[in-house]
Amino acid sequence: MTDSIRRRLVLAGAGLAAAPLGNVRAQPAGYPNKPLKIIVGAAPGGLSDAYARLFAEQFTQRFNQPAVVENRPGASGIIATEAMLKAPPDGYTLLSTTTGMLWQTRVLYRKLPFDLAKDIAPITVFPSGPLVIAVQEKTGVRNFAELAEFSRRNNCTMGSYAVASYPHVLAETLNREFGGKVQAIQYKGEGPMWVEMGAGALTMCVGSFQAFNTVRDKGIRPIAVSGQYRSPKLPDIPTLIEQGLKAPIARLEGGLALSANSAVPVEILELLSRVAVEGNETPRARNLRENFAIPDATKGRADALRMWREDGPLWIKEVEALNVKLD
């Protein structure tokens, strides 16, 4: 990690940690008194879109104010992020995207129209659960070791739902660690990616269980899952860690971040975070986690701030080590 990036991360983390929380049980005066907009950096059909629509419903139920979801896919999430940051920083325009977009993208591009280390404030991070690593059955691959060998011998394509996302980093890890010949193909979210996988246009994909499940009967085989534990929907499929992958990507976990302009008053950020946490056990929230095979619920802003301080630098260091630049 470069010294400048490290300094910015330390300063940003210190600033977030020192930010006064005030009376987090008090509702900010006059807020909310108009509709909320959530800009999603992906096409409909994926997990970031699903969480955004869940939160929109929770916001409306809590405050009796409309909440709309606007999908702005493309340009690695830059379009959606810039749109959110150009809106007034009053807490009425939020961003739903991957943590990868907010952390790793800052080292993949030499120049961005905003400063991700300073301009974004987390509200909460929704967990993604174990991601499914899946291949075309016709490859004959049945586990990660066979995938690594297959990728070394064959030109392969890996579907990726966002730049700097888990599948993008895994593709580059296969190339770096195993001499693979894997090209990451970027899509505007999970939905379009899995459609292409189901049509046989990609060698492999990584994504949420629910999205994978839409094409699993089209000659697609799960061979591993990400994270520290197995998917409750695929209990017989071992994790990458269990299969012996030592690279950091085997242990790292991201999520789906709901965030805002860092100029939004912290009292509003705390209030929005409580809306998400208090909605964890609603029928729709439980149903979403069941469909996507996500055992955990969001823990709120304090945990999001911890992830920004502790997990973000690890992801950034890993992506920086891959020496991939996109401009």
Identity of the residue numbered 237: I
What pLDDT is recorded for position 3? 47
- The encoded tokens of residue 268 equal 């509003």
Tally DSSP H helices, then E strands, for the chain: 12, 10
Alpha carbons within 13 A on the beta-carbon side of 70: 16
- Per residue of the chain (327 residues), what is the pLDDT tens digit? 544 444 444 334 434 433 333 333 456 878 999 999 999 998 888 889 999 999 999 999 999 999 999 999 988 789 999 999 999 999 999 999 999 889 988 888 888 999 999 999 999 999 999 999 999 999 999 999 999 999 999 999 999 988 778 999 899 999 999 999 999 999 988 889 999 999 999 999 999 999 999 999 999 999 999 999 999 999 999 999 999 999 989 988 889 999 999 999 999 999 999 999 999 999 999 999 999 999 999 999 999 999 999 999 988 988 887 777 777
Report the pLDDT value the prediction gives residue 23, as an integer from 0 to 100. 35
Dist CA 259 CA 272 (whole Å)? 10
**What is the predicted pLDDT for the residue at 4?**
46
Do residues 141 and 147 lie in contact, with contact meaning Cβ atoms separated by under 8 Å?
A: yes
What pLDDT, on a 0 to 100 scale, did the predictor assign at position 26? 56
Strand partners for 127: 255
Q: How far apart are CA 283 and CA 238, in angstroms?
A: 30
Q: How many angstroms separate the CA atoms of 274 and 26, rounded?
A: 11
What is the third-level CATH fold of 3-128+254-321? D-Maltodextrin-Binding Protein; domain 2 (3.40.190)
Q: Which of 255, 308, 273 is nearest to 98 (CA)?
A: 255
**Domain 132-250, CATH 3.40.190.10 — does that match?**
yes
> What does the pLDDT read at residue 171?
95
* Residue intervals in the chain for CATH 3.40.190.150: 3-128+254-321
Q: Read off φ and ψ for residue 58, nearest 5 degrees.
A: -65, -40
pTM for this model (two decimals): 0.81
Listed in order, the ranges of the chain carrying CATH 3.40.190.10 are 132-250
